[in-house]
Amino acid sequence: MIAPAIVRPSPLAAHAACDWFAEVIAGERRALEQLERGVPASVAAAVERIAAQERPLTCVGVGKSGLVAAKVAATFSSLGTPAFFLNAAEAAHGDLGAVQEGNVVLLFSNSGTTEEICRILPLLRARECILIGVVGQTDSPLGRAVDHLIPAMIEREADHIGMAPTASTTLQMAIGDGLAVAASRARAFTREDFLRHHPAGLLGRQMIPVRTLMRTGAALPTVLPSASVAELLAVMSGRRMGAACVVDHANRLLGLVVDGDIRRHFQARHDVYDTQAHALMQRAPQVIDIGATLGDAILMLRERGGGGLLVLPVTDSEGQLHGMLHAHDILNG
């Protein structure tokens, strides 16, 4: 068997690759800019229909538009609008049974003449489904059949021969994402709702309550305001958090001392023997509420850019100290 010849790009083609790449991005961007300049009024009605429904949204397509429909269905579901993908080619072979009477159906087609979709239109109509079409050719069988038409027109595809689904599918995807986010906002879907939909991985871990991760009891480094530097160092070394919370006799947080505060005190040549914790402490340290989640703690860490935020005292609304989080607890929680 003769091995196929290896085709190596010419130096000219290799040099031009970045230009070819940029041309595609520019072509797809033009399609998005054209839509942004004139968002059709039908979008508002489509979002209202989708947000108001109680049954899962049906996203329909075939071929490349089918891949878009599948992704859009997943995005809807992630953002609080239950949705599923229906392959138009399989719908006529039994899968149409998943579509109930009165369902909202979102159909994707660039040409608007896709045979598999046009074949099931009368069946969807018979079930009194609400049809929303994301269609490239508006004056087409699909464009004329839907209740709410969202034009997805492009000047040309972004590839060099103007035929491969590139700009058209990018535009379809953007429209689908726009509908999903708008419907989610109409449903008052929150960040906490989103995290509950993603129990696995980092997203799921962000829902872990801070109270389950914080260090408490004997592991919690605390001192009274009158504690000496020697006492501070002993507590900080023993608890291995590089910090200590300064509390009163009622366990209310008064301040925080980190090892850097003590080093700076030494470097300033202050008298360390007579210094007490209240003279070293940060009087308004950043804290996190006892009802917060790991996601809230991560957000705090990111907002500070990791700039020195290694510990977070955990308090309640009355300023009572309940525990402390270390950066390791936040990142490895």
CA 234 to chain centre: 43
Residue 312: pLDDT band (50, 70, 90) is confident
Confidence of residue 257 (pLDDT cuts 50, 70, 90): confident
The lowest-confidence range among 16-30, 196-210, 249-263 is 196-210
DSSP E strands in 10-82: the ranges are 57-61
pLDDT tens by residue, 114-139 = 999 999 999 999 999 999 999 999 99
Average pLDDT over residues 23-40: 94
Residue 326 scores a pLDDT above 60: yes
Q: What is the pLDDT of residue 202?
A: 55
Q: How far apart are CA 255 and CA 311, in angstroms?
A: 12
Residue 1 has pLDDT above 60, yes or no: no
Q: How far is 218 from 215, CA to CA, in rounded Å?
A: 9
Domain 210-332, CATH among 3.90.245.10, 3.90.1200.10, 3.40.50.300, 3.10.580.10: 3.10.580.10
Class of domain 18-189: alpha beta
Percent of the chain with pLDDT over 90: 51
The DSSP line for 265-322 is HHHTT--SSS-BHHHHSBSS---EETT-BHHHHHHHHHHTTTSS--EEEEE-TT-BEE
Note the pLDDT of residue 123.
93
By CB neighbour count within 10 A (0-12 exposed, 13-18 middle, 19+ buried), where does 188 fall?
Answer: exposed
Instruction: Look at residue 269 in the predicted model and tell me its pLDDT.
Output: 64
- Ranking 37-51, 206-220, 297-311 by mean pLDDT, the lowest is 297-311
177 touches 73 (CB < 8 A): no
Tell the residue number behind the tokens 């914080």, with chain if given: 214
Give the residue-averaged pLDDT of 177-206.
78
Look up residue 218 and give its DSSP letter: G
pLDDT tier for residue 274 given thresholds of 50, 70 and 90: confident
Task: Decide which of 7 and 308 is more confident.
Answer: 7
3-state secondary structure 109-122: ECCCCCHHHHHHHH
| Burial category of 194 from C-beta neighbours within 10 Å (exposed 0-12, middle 13-18, buried 19 and up) | middle
Quote the pLDDT of residue 11: 63
Q: Phi and psi of 83, rounded to 5°?
A: -150, 155
Above 80 in pLDDT, residue 252? yes
Nearest one of 126, 80, 79, 82 to 106, comparing CA atoms:
82
19-23, 68-72, 226-230, 240-244: which is most confident: 68-72
Residues carrying CATH 3.10.580.10, the chain: 210-332
pLDDT band of residue 9 (cuts 50, 70, 90) is low
For residue range 147-171, what is the model confidence (pLDDT) as tens digits? 999 999 999 999 999 999 999 999 9
pLDDT value at residue 275: 80
CATH 3.40.50.10490 in the chain, residue ranges: 18-189
218-232: average pLDDT: 87
Hey, what amino acid is at 104? V
Which phi and psi angles does 19 have, rounded to 5°? Answer: -65, -40
